[in-house]
Amino acid sequence: MTATAEAPAAGEVASFEVTLRIRRMNPEGTSEHGAGEEYWEEHTIQAHATDRVLDALHKIKWDIDGSLAFRRSCAHGVCGSDAMRINARNRLACKTLLKDLNPAKPIMVEPIKGLPVEKDLIVDMEPFFASYREIMPFLMTSGPTPERERLQTPEERQRFDDTTKCILCAACTTSCPVFWTDGQYFGPQAIVGAHRFIFDSRDEGQWDRLEILNDKAGVWKCRTAFNCTEACPRGIEVTKAISEVKKVLNTGEI
Amino acid sequence: MTLHEYDVVIVGAGGAGMRAALESSQRARTACLTKLYPTRSHTGAAQGGMAAALSNVEDDNAEWHTFDTIKGGDYLVDQDAAEILCNEAIDAVLDLEKMGLPFNRTEEGKVDQRRFGGHTRNHGEAAVRRACYSADRTGHMILQTLYQQCIKQEVEFFNEFYVLDLLLDKDPQSTPEGEEVSVAGVVAYELATGEIHTFRAKSVIFATGGAGKVFKTTSNAHTLTGDGMAIAYNAGLPLEDMEFFQFHPTGLAGLGILLSEAARGEGGILRNSEGERFMERYAPTIKDLAPRDMVARAMANEVREGRGCGPHKDYVLLDLTHLEPAHIDAKLPDITEFARTYLGVEPYTEPVPVYPTAHYAMGGIPTNVQGEVLRNNTDKVKGLYAAGECACVSVHGANRLGTNSLLDINVFGRRAGIAAAEHALATEAAAELPEDAEGRLRAWVERLRDTVGTPGAESIAQVRRELQETMDRNAQVFRDEASLSAAKADIAALKERYEAVGIHDRGQRYNTDLLEAIELGFLLDLAEVVVEGALARKESRGGHYREDFPTRDDENFMRHTMVYGGEQLRLDYKPVVVTKYQPMERKY
Ligand SMILES: Cc1cc2nc3c(=O)[nH]c(=O)nc-3n(C[C@H](O)[C@H](O)[C@H](O)COP(=O)(O)OP(=O)(O)OC[C@H]3O[C@@H](n4cnc5c(N)ncnc54)[C@H](O)[C@@H]3O)c2cc1C
Ligand code: SF4
Ligand code: FES
């Protein structure tokens, strides 16, 4: 998804046809499908060069079948609503351009894996947010509150920059083979969330968080499959963050 | 029906809603209802910064900030509110830092600050570094930090609950002036189950954000459909200054995705097809950093006069190519990635195609400086509050300065949270719920469900598209009597067609089809209010530019528009609060 010199200029309309194969499930059933039954459905639509998978889903929902259910809000990759499995890889639908996928084959769109499917592309996000809450994702300090800001050098600020970018989209956690099979593991996002505070020079709650991550549901479950790093739409080096946390646990030094 | 009772119910979990929740939940039993998971709120999309005269990098003070805010708002700002905004700004930023917000830092370790449009030293002498920021993801950091604090304080959220009706104990329009009207609660629709819930509360705070989806080209999220504004309006409350909508100069051409003004704050330059830095002609002193309304009009004018770029000459260029790539990566990483991802343009080496995009509603639900909602020019609705983009205090007047909204949501979100909790604590019992509290919503939902399968029904998407197109064509950067009248006629016809829309999904669970139909109803109501206000305002001020009345007319129009709904839409006016700043010509 990087720059291509031949990309048509804005406003130029290069139209092409694409087919989406969408994994569907209606918990209440439809005239053709039973309640909870999972099935594939295909739609072919006209797309433009700047269209994203989200635009294609909207075309289907708005002009063909309003019952198609998915979450979305910002439409430019910053709110974390629309992580889904697109051609067997976790991505944000609003950040995946159709022209960057092979248009010769149907584009496969499925809900993210490892969380209960509620309807079509919507999954239950509660277990994911529960893991995030578990690692105490808030600044912990002791002593009196200072008058002015707490000081932090640009280098100290840079130390945890990468993990501050997380938008809680769950693409990483739901791409993790350990998370799929192990009912206990917090998943990579919770470690990213903890990393953001562990390496913040202002925070004093590192050891509380590290203790949680040292638990059986924590970092040691990670088998460095790297799926999470590949999946992260914010370009966070998730595996690196996890290994930095492991290293602190091994050495006792931050 | 499920009934819940709370001291305080907050509607919305963006910056304003969560800032309010942090205050309110410390003092009173609070529920925060939100149609999105809190971290999906559009505050997270905000990029450039949050204004406060910290003086961390150069001399600055709250009085200069106040002056800039009032002048930037073209003297439609309530000056008492602007003074509060700018005086409380410093604590608002420091509070966020103490909550853990990772601001960019100066070499000494203080919160760093950058330039932004319309923010100046000593009443317009030169641009000043006032915007506190975290790269170009300041809103993301604010949203995350507030959410993290809400987790810490165990704020009770009702996620994916759509509030769709407001309950008052009396009709605010037929109740005589001076008599008391109180809030009783709200009615919400739960996305996961389709169940309707009534929340009875002593205090209710609306913090539902903007309404950018009234327009086609917008920086706003799909979910920014002005729900809170429309719900208040439909409950008989007025809306203030809705004709003032900010068009941000630099949306990605054809898409509307925002490229922050920080790009120009960091040295970016706007150029036309001749390569000319045209802002030198329109604002000789501060050039590309003039307030947004001026820059947006200048861009539209360049295009109109044939100096646009691209195959259709329909955009201008934002040039960052003279900046160091390392500087771009450090200060503008996200927005340059948007250009790469969505337009395939590499900002290191190529200028980025941009055009104005509908961005921010200056108007909204009228409130006083405690966040209390007004039902006319003087009477408050007891227990009802509003804060953030859905409210109009009015600190932005006719044109909001960049970085003043992230400030607004923190200052007035906090104030509303405190006031609402204190009101609840001082109130014995919430007002009685009206009989059949959820009846109105239930009837609406059932009527829509019954449209499934109706032959020849109107399509939600089609009606919405036509609405957005007429608004872009007729009520955008340039307006006149003819264009606005055309928009008015289109909206009236679309409202009729809306009565015949049909949905596809009859289900109870995750029926987003049904909710889009309801949101479209809100958009139609708000578009009508925008256009009526714009037609009646026969002058040009801030974001509202009438080609048939190109100058500001303080004698007749230095006053707020108040639009009332009901059987017959009605316009009224409210005086502007002036403390010490007399209107002067707005030159930069
Ligand atoms: C792209 C972009 C960049 C920006 N950059 C800046 C900047 O750099 N500096 C600046 O000062 N300002 C900026 N702004 C403006 C600023 O971000 C917004 O005005 C501000 O964040 C609005 O906050 P809010 O809390 O009022 O609303 P939002 O953050 O939009 O939150 C609205 C909340 O209301 C809820 N809600 C809505 N309807 C309902 C309903 N019916 N029932 C229940 N809940 C509901 C939503 O779920 C959400 O939680 C920017 C805006 C955009 C779009
Ligand atoms: S780390 Fe990346 S993939 Fe994981 S939740 Fe955060 S943004 Fe999404
Ligand atoms: S819709 Fe917000 S991230 Fe895709």
Per-residue pLDDT of B21-36, as tens digits, reads 999 999 999 999 999 9
Query: What per-residue confidence (pLDDT) applies to A217?
Result: 83
Query: Which DSSP letter does residue A215 get?
Result: S
For residue B189, what are the contacts with CB-CB under 8 A and spacing of at least 6? B161, B162, B164, B195, B196, B197, B441, B445, B515
Its sign, for the CA torsion B172, B369, B583, B361, is negative
**Measured distance CA(B225)–CA(B212) in Å, rounded:** 7
Q: Do A66 and B513 touch (CB under 8 A)?
A: yes
> How many Å apart are CA B350 and CA B308, to the nearest integer?
16
Q: DSSP letter at B218?
A: B
- Do A43 and A33 form a contact (C-beta atoms < 8 A)? no
Do B238 and B418 contact (CB within 8 A), yes or no? no
> Any idea how long chain B is?
588
Q: Which residue has the tokens 């259910």?
A: A69
Task: Give yes or no for residue A7 having a pLDDT over 70.
Answer: no
Residue B374: pLDDT above 70?
yes
CA B87/CA B89 separation, integer angstroms: 6
ipTM: 0.96
Q: For residue B317, list its beta bridge partners.
A: B271, B353
The reported pLDDT for the residue numbered A3 is 36
Taking 70 as the threshold, does the pLDDT of residue A13 lie above it? no
Mind telling me how many Å the CA of A75 is from chain B's nearest CA? 7
**What number of other Cβ atoms are within 10 A of residue A12's Cβ?**
14
pLDDT at B1: 76
| Phi–psi pair at B19, nearest 5 degrees | -65, -40
Tokens of B71: 């002048």
A151, B108: Cβ pair inside 8 Å? yes
Atom of ligand 1 nearest to the CA of B18: 25
Q: What is the pLDDT of residue A1?
A: 33
Measure A97 CA to nearest chain B CA, in Å.
Answer: 8
Residue A170 Cα to ligand 2 midpoint, Å, equals 6
| Average pLDDT for B199-215 | 98
How many distinct helices (H) and strands (E) make up chain B? 17, 22
C-alpha distance from residue A51 to each of A100, A197, B500 (Å): 10, 37, 30
How far apart (Å, rounded) are the C-alpha atoms in residues B230 and B171?
Answer: 16
Contact A154 B104 (CB under 8 A): yes
> pLDDT tens digit string along B393-409?
999 999 999 999 999 99
How much is the pLDDT for A18? 95
- Per the model's pLDDT, the better-predicted residue between A182 and B250 turns out to be B250
Residue B561: pLDDT over 50: yes
Confidence band of A8 (pLDDT split at 50, 70, 90):
very low
Could you give the percent of chain A with pLDDT greater than 70?
Answer: 95
Please write the tens of the pLDDT for every residue from A68-81.
Answer: 999 999 999 999 99
The pLDDT of residue B586 is 86
Instruction: Pick the range with the lowest mean pLDDT from A56-65, B283-292, B359-368, B558-567.
Output: B283-292
A158 at interface of B, judged by CB pairs closer than 8 A: no
Q: Check if A57 has its Cβ closer than 6 Å to any atom of ligand 2.
A: no
Q: A5 falls in which pLDDT band (50, 70, 90)?
A: very low
Say yes or no for a CB contact (<8 Å) between A129 and B459.
Answer: no
**Nearest-5° angle of CA B505, CA B506, CA B507?**
95
B205 contacts: CB under 8 Å, gap ≥ 6: B8, B9, B10, B11, B12, B17, B20, B24, B371, B385, B386, B387, B416, B417, B420
Give the integer Cα–Cα distance in Å for B108 and B103: 13
Rounded-to-integer distance, Cα B302 and Cα B587, Å: 19
* Chain A with chain B: Cβ pairs closer than 8 A: 186
Q: Is the pLDDT of residue B154 over 60?
A: yes
State residue A2's pLDDT score: 37
**Residue B552 backbone zone (phi > 0: left; psi -120 to 50: alpha; other: beta):** beta
Asked if pLDDT for residue A11 goes beyond 50, the answer is: no
Mean pLDDT over B444-473 rounds to: 97
Whether residue A10 has pLDDT greater than 80: no
Q: What tokens were used for A171? A: 């693409």
Mean pLDDT to the nearest integer, B494-521: 98
Mean pLDDT of B253-261: 95
Tell me what the mean pLDDT of segment A189-197 comes to: 98
pLDDT for A12 beyond 90: no
How far from B491 is each of B165, B461, B478, B513, B532, CA to CA, in Å? Answer: 23, 15, 18, 22, 11
> What average pLDDT does the segment B382-401 reach?
98
B326 touches chain A (CB under 8 A): no
Over residues B312-319, mean pLDDT: 97
| Residue corresponding to tokens 């995750």 | B510
Catalogue the active-site residues of B: 292
How close is the Cα of A163 to the center of ligand 2, in Å?
A: 9
For residue A77, which ligand has an atom nearest its CA? 3
User: Cα–Cα distance between B358 and B365 in angstroms, integer?
Assistant: 19
> Is the CB of residue B315 less than 8 Å away from at least one CB of chain A?
yes
Residues of B in contact with A151 (CB under 8 A): 105, 108-110
Q: Do B105 and A154 touch (CB under 8 A)?
A: yes
Residue B266 and residue B113: Cα distance in Å, rounded? 11
Q: Does residue A192's CB lie within 6 angstroms of at least one atom of ligand 2?
A: yes
Q: pLDDT class for B390, splitting at 50, 70, 90?
A: very high
Ligand 3 centroid to Cα of residue B22, in Å, is: 26
User: Which residues are within 8 A (CB) of B494 and not within 5 positions of it... i.e. 6 or more apart?
Assistant: B463, B466, B467, B470, B524
